Amino acid sequence: MRIVVVGAGSVARRHVEVLTGLGARVVGVVDPDEAAAGRLAAACGATATTDVEQALDDGRPDAAYVCVPPFAHGPAERAVLARGLPLFVEKPVGLDPAVAEEVAGLVERAGVVSGTGYHWRCLDTLDPLRERAAAAPPLLAVGSWLDKRPPVAWWGSARLSGGQVVEQLTHVLDLARSLLGEAAEVHAVGVRRAPTAPDRQPDPVDDPVDDATAALVRFHSGAVASFTATSLLAAKRQASLQLCGPGWWAEVDDAGVCWDEGSGRRPEAWSEDPRVAVDREFLEAVRGERAATRAPYAEAVRSHRLAWAVSESARTGGPVRLDAPSAGAGGTAS
């Protein structure tokens, strides 16, 4: 299978390594940084370019991966879908919801296979948890992403990254949606350290992201949840979702699931790395070996709506309500 990869950052490099390990051939790498595109292309025997249209036309790919920062989504997806190609998009799928909603419509009209980087959905330990949640629905969830600030320059700018909720906590929000259903209402607050704090370096941007966010979310299922995020730490400490149902507790992270049904913790690690599984499933779907991926674009855009609602609530200081989902569709923030 021939793949064009748009983006040459660390996430794109990981996908290229996984894809080649699965037997796919990366034929083109696109990045506005010509040197970065050249380095990644040289590592996998591909052609480097700064032009998406050229890469898609010359490379004759069977599918394309779009691994770009939040602010850069849109042009590459439009180019891929205009050619009717299967599309994999790394999360988050946009900055504000407008571009993501547009691309979702294009994906639906094109009728192509889609996949996204919400790899936690591919944990092979989730099926027993889904069964438990169906039999005894959870009423409480607690999610967190406690981490350091990534070193890339754009991440600290709210108008480029969307902030930590949109860029990182979105993994946890997506998993919560997949287990609890759609959210109904969000209340969130965010905080930034004073620019004059003794241990704080000057912000390189004029729109710095929040250093910490806390949110309360009510779901249409009746469950309630709290979510927290911070980038204040020196190293990643935790990224997980805990669920509490009648007589049971479970915690999910990207290593697996830990259970407690009254007899102590019982960890279950995955047998396949979900970062590999998400790419394998996309390739299988493109080849027609499975009907769809577990993280299609339509699901990603619904999770993006929830992340944006949390960010908007933190920004405005007021609640954000989300419409009740109709059959086959997610709600929209209001």
pLDDT in tens, 15-35: 999 999 999 999 999 999 999
State whether 98 and 150 are in the same domain. Answer: no
Average confidence (pLDDT) over 72-81: 98
SS3 assignment, position 295: coil
State whether 108 and 153 are in the same domain. Answer: no
Strands 25-30 and 2-6: parallel
State whether 19 and 139 are in the same domain. Answer: no
State the pLDDT at residue 291.
96
State the pLDDT at residue 323.
83
Residue 248, pLDDT > 60, answer yes
Element (H or E) spanning 40, and its range? helix 34-44
State whether 144 and 110 are in the same domain. Answer: no
DSSP state of 236: -
State whether 169 and 308 are in the same domain. Answer: yes
Point out which residues pair with 248 in neighbouring strands.
Answer: 245
- Dmax over Cα atoms in the chain, in whole Å? 59
> CA 250, CA 78: separation in Å to the nearest integer?
40
What CATH number does residue 19 fall under?
A: 3.40.50.720
What CATH number does residue 311 fall under?
A: 3.30.360.10
Average pLDDT of the residues of the chain: 94
Residue 333, pLDDT > 70, answer no
What percent of the chain lies above the pLDDT cut of 70? 94
SS3 assignment, position 112: coil
> CA 301, CA 93: separation in Å to the nearest integer?
7
State the pLDDT at residue 330.
42
State whether 160 and 298 are in the same domain. Answer: yes
Average confidence (pLDDT) over 278-282: 98
State the pLDDT at residue 324.
73
> CA 165, CA 74: separation in Å to the nearest integer?
20
Do the domain assignments include residue 31?
Answer: yes
State whether 105 and 57 are in the same domain. Answer: yes
User: Edge-to-edge strands of the sheet including 63-66?
Assistant: 47-49, 25-30, 2-6, 63-66, 87-89, 114-116
State the pLDDT at residue 105.
98
State whether 161 and 310 are in the same domain. Answer: yes
Range of the domain at 187: 123-271+294-321
- Describe the crossing of helices 126-135 and 170-180 by its angle, rounded to 10 degrees: 50
State the pLDDT at residue 202.
60
Residue 329, pLDDT > 60, answer no
